[in-house]
Amino acid sequence: MLFLFIAIIAAAVAAIGWLFPKPLSAPPAPQSRAIRDMHAHDEPAAHRHAPETALDILKKRYARGEITKEEYETIKRDLLTS
């Protein structure tokens, strides 16, 4: 009788393990080194952790075409003189 009870418990544990192979709170898989290296070269090392300056934002806006060359020059001049 005891053997039958142990067999039923073991079968239940095996069935649960088969139905749910991973723990519900599994940590996310780490990024591969290739992905980290690919993103590491997006910006120069000096700017990786440095906060973005107003001039950096201005350059990006001009590069995206959000502002004209005249607007860029005017804002740049204002930023550098203030």
Alpha-carbon distance 19 to 1, whole Å? Answer: 27
Alpha-carbon distance 46 to 52, whole Å? Answer: 11
Residue that is written with structure tokens 């550098």 in the block: 80
For every one of its 82 residues, what pLDDT tens digit does the chain have, with 9 covering 90 and above?
888 889 999 998 888 888 877 665 666 666 666 666 665 555 555 556 678 899 999 999 999 999 999 999 999 999 998 7
What pTM, to 2 d.p., does this model score? 0.41
Tell me the one-letter amino acid at 63: A
Tell me the one-letter amino acid at 1: M
